[in-house]
Structure 1
Amino acid sequence: MSKSLLARLAAPCLSSLLALNAQAALTEMTDKELSDITGQALLTLDGLTYGGFQYTRLNFGAEIDVLLNMDELRMGEFDRSGLPGLASNQPADILINNFALGRVRNNNNANATIEPFKIQDPYIEFAFKVNSQGVREIAGVRLGFGKAMGYLSGDILSLTGKMQGKIYGPASLGKDYYMQQNGLNDFTCTFNINCLALSLAGDTEVYATVELLQQGTGNKILNGVPVNRATHIGIPAGESLQTDATGLIASLIPTLTMASNCSALGLTTCFPLTNYKSIFVGDPSNQNNINLGGAQGIFFSLQNQNVPWQDLANIGQFVETQRGAFANFAKTGSGANTAYPFVLTLFDALRGTAREPTCMGSQAAGC
């Protein structure tokens, strides 16, 4: 990881955010007019010192609507051999083909309309540290959003960071999926212990938090650090489906569905990230209001050493990142106030999601 690599992230971010077209005539204002005006500048600066690092954050007080298509998003490409946490042999920490933000509705006809990815209060932040020679140098840079909402699409080959989502739905969907995968019917299901257990759960509503995992084991921690270059997401080993329902069967669900080696009750609990071609970021029940439905705390960062970034969505907390690239899509709050950056039905979690068109015309990707 080098300074030039950090600059490659900062340069396009700065150029895109500063490409604002404004036309206005300058006229003198009276003292009375000036005294009647209150407001905040488009650009503000914040500073912070923590853990031996000094931070400078450039805040853009703006709301941005974007439709973005990129053949490939590749960040943190370097040799991780011998470093802890390596979950795959992918060449980069973040590697997404056909990456896109936003979508196009009715893309292949004259009524095509753009549904943008909405960003509120974006910022760019730099982390500095004095090295062993006494020289103050840049240690990391990140691009973040106060709030974000819309479709994120791509063929996700590798992710490093936090990707915490919620899956939910009736347990019967798990039974239907299990029967389909194992060629069972309602009669033969009664002679299969896993299928029978899923049948007893019926339509009980279940939910779980899914995270980045190592394929095969379901571990989210390797060698004492969070997995990097993950290719799978799912229910971590040792965790299970939960329910708010009451009764004997409901009370058994957490125990019966505890994940181990990427499996629970015969159901796969680790899924390739490539299964999910498009994910809605934010609260889908508030798609028209970023203030209510926007996901908080999202950022992408590059750092040439382990850097703790201030968690702007959880006051007083920091997000610990490893050397390399990092994507932060973490849940915020706790208990009843927990908010997830994305939510999937159990049906979509098990079967994957289709690509939302992001191009005008017949192509859904690769504009």
Structure 2
Amino acid sequence: MGEILVKILTSSETPWFMALIIGGVSGWWALKRYRYEKHLEKFKETNANLFKDRKQEVLAAIATLSIFKRNPEFEKNTIDVLLSRLYTELDYDVINSILSTLIQDSNRKELLYIASGLQDINRNFFVQDYPTKQRVNDLNKAISKMEYSLQQANTPDYNQLINDGKVEIESFLRNKDQLITQYNQDFINLASLHKYKLAWHKQVTADAYAMFLRKAYLSNPEEHLSVKLFQNDFNYVYMAEIKITETTVSRSALASAIFAEVEFAGNNISRTDFFASVFNQSGFYEGKIKDSIFERNSFTEATFKNIHFTNTQFTNCKFESTRFINCTGLTQQDFIQCTADASSKFPEGVIIPVEASITTAVTTP
């Protein structure tokens, strides 16, 4: 083989041969570049359609992006674009279409990448709670101040009230109709976001996160799987049949959630609230839980094993066939108004009132 190559390179015909190779490579590269630019143009057009208002156009754009999802040159960009659209979406038809496209042909690494993106979106909604509430309060104060200013406009104390900053100046009053209309419109938009839309967004992203995490787990159940939540709000999440080998949760909330056959191992949990949730055949194994609260939760065939608790309480919880094995840091004072069945086992020195019958219902979607 080497001798043949030497003969080709030293032959008098080599210039023609090399020209043929260079011409072929150049033609192939030009064709590849042309096809890429055509695909890029279509990709940009589809992205624009993805963010339009008409639902059918959005669904059509998602269907087109499912093709780009299979193209290695556009796969990551497609994932990022679909995640950014999910950030603003509450229509379940669109949400399901986006999630189906994200799932298709994704390997474990890609599933975890998508889950991480969903977690970031969820965190953003979590941190919006307080500033959104403050904006609503600011608008409410602006409306109230305008109404009070109109009442005081013709009184002798009006100028003094202006100096004290308690009423609006005359230029505001002259444009009161436009300002009040704007205030009310901004108030309505923010109030709906604060009252329920943020909660809906957090629910969508939490459910999607749990879905992708489980698929990543099922792709290789023996491989290490970590969950790291910081300022995440996983209310109403449903998580089932998954083993997490490293669990780090801080300053988060999990309320009205359902955990079925979920194993949280390697725990480092702090400043987290577990509220009105169901733990069925699930447990926390190894590690520590501190500065947290479990309130109004139902535990059925649940396990806490080798967990060190610090400043953590269980309030109004129900325990059925639940065991605390080799757990430290809990005292009688940490169980407030809790009930249990006779088969549940608690740390030494802790006595929980026994109920004759405790029923915990787990509904599978």
TM-score, normalised via structure 2 length: 0.23
If asked which structure has higher relative contact order (CA below 8 Å, sep 6+), I would say 1
Of structures 1 and 2, the larger Rg is shown by: 2
Structure showing the higher helix proportion among its residues: 2
TM-score, normalised via structure 1 length: 0.23
